[in-house]
Amino acid sequence: MRIGDLSARTGMSVRALRYYEEQELLPSDRSASGQRHYDDTAVDRVRLLQIFYRAGLSSTSIRLLLPSVEAGTAAPEAIEHLLDQREALESRLRELEAAASRLDEVITAATDPLQRCRHPPTAPLEQHSTGSTTTARDRRPSP
C-alpha cells in the first residue's frame, strides 16, 4: 500500500509516517520511481508505535524495544529499559506535583492579602472536612 493509503487506514499524517520511517521504526519498500510502499503489517506497526509514544517512550527507546516485540519475547535489556523509563516518569511526576504545589502558594499569595505578608509563601494547603485539598481554583476570586 502507498503512504496515503496507510495514512487513511491509521489516521496518522503522511508527515508522521515519514518521520517513523526516518527513525527506522517503520520499514518500507521503494518503487522504481521512489514511492514508498508498505505491506499490510504496517497498519499494526503504526498502531504499536502510537501505543509506545503515548506511554512516553522516545523514538530511540522504541527502536531498542522493537526487536523484542518482533521476536515475541521480552529481552532482559528491554525490560530493564522500560523500568528505567518508568522510574524517570515517576520522578518527573513528583517534580510536577511539587511545582503545582509551589504555584498554589504563589496564587494564594497573589490573591489573599494575609498571605502576602509571608515571604516566601510556605503555608500548607487547607484541608476540607472531606479530606480533599484546597486548590488554587478554589481560591479564585469571584468576578
**C-alpha closest to that of 26 among 57, 73, 7, 34:** 7
What mean pLDDT is reported for the chain?
Answer: 84
- Tell me the mean pLDDT in the region 4-24: 95
**Out of 25-34, 47-56, 109-118, which region has the weakest mean confidence (pLDDT)?**
109-118
* Cβ pair 104, 135 in contact under 8 A: yes
Q: Domain coordinates of the chain in residue numbers? A: 1-73, 92-143
The separation between the first and the last C-alpha atoms of the chain, rounded to the nearest angstrom, is 57
pLDDT digits (tens, 9 = 90+) for 112-135: 777 665 555 555 555 544 444 555
Name the phi and psi angles at 37, rounded to 5: -135, 135
Domain 1-73 falls under CATH 3.10.20.30:
no
127 versus 98: which is more confidently predicted? 98
pLDDT of residue 116: 60
pLDDT digits (tens, 9 = 90+) for 51-92: 999 998 999 999 989 998 888 888 888 889 899 999 999 999
Does the structure show a pLDDT above 80 at 31? yes
Whole-structure pTM value? 0.66
